[in-house]
Amino acid sequence: MKAFLFDLDGVLVSTEHNHFLAWQRCAHSLGIAFTEKENELLKGVSRVDSLKKILVLGAKTISTEEFEDLLISKNDFYLESIQDLNQSNLLPGVLDLLKSAKTKGIHLGVGSSSKNANFILDKLQIRSYFEVVIDGNGVKDPKPHPEVFLNGARALGLDPSVCMVFEDAASGIAAAKAGGFTAVGVGNPHIANMADIYLNDLTEFRVEQYA
Ligand code: BG6
Ligand code: MG
């Protein structure tokens, strides 16, 4: 493999739970039941598509204005909840994997649906490991469409067949497979069967096996 492309939320950092809490608050404000089970449908999904999915779950329609207001309050609540985020919030094995891959000359990138990705990478102090960061601001078609990862591979000048994608979400594994990448599922048993390789966490990954 010549490159590793990482999803952010739920793969590099434990922010997926913060997204869940923020969406749950939003769903409850609309009178819609929302648990971890329903949240699986939202993992890796863009902000706009997530709210659309919540409305489908509750069979609700709201005005464009209310829709926009909910997006803003969800993001405000989410950002508030991660204001103290720092390197200690990296998920197990992340830093060792990044360092080891870099030493072996593997190109590193991030492919995230989040519009907050660069802000979070800076807080985590890992921005400098990545040659390319494609975030939710840089794609037309969000996951499960492969665009985010295809843009990452293209920016590195590499074919998807020599790139591995690390993902915790069904939408992200689908995106990776659709793009022709090797899909590594991480830390989410729900996606174990969809992925080419499955890891409980990144401490289980051996860079030398794929370098
Ligand atoms: C993804 C998360 O990385 O980004 C989703 O898995 C989130 O839960 C999506 O909804 C969009 O993030 P943001 O930060 O732009 O609202
Ligand atoms: Mg994720």
pLDDT-derived band at 119 (thresholds 50, 70, 90) equals very high
Annotated catalytic residue within 7, 69, 76, 159: 7
7 is known as an active-site residue = yes
**The model scores a pTM over 0.85:** yes
- Residue 8 CB partners (closer than 8 Å, separation 6+): 15, 110, 112, 114, 117, 120, 121
Among the bound ligands, the one closest to the CA of 138: 1
Pocket test for ligand 1, best of 6, 7, 8, 9 (most atoms within 8 A of CB): 9
Average pLDDT, the chain: 98
Q: Is the CB of 11 under 6 A from ligand 1?
A: no
The reported pLDDT for the residue numbered 96 is: 98
Give residue 44's region: left, alpha or beta (phi > 0; psi -120 to 50): left
**CA atoms of 101 and 115, how far apart (whole Å):** 26
Domains, the chain, ordered by start: 3-14+88-209 (3.40.50.1000), 16-81 (1.10.150.240)
The mean pLDDT value for 122-140 works out to 97
Contact of 188 with 168, CB cutoff 8 Å:
yes
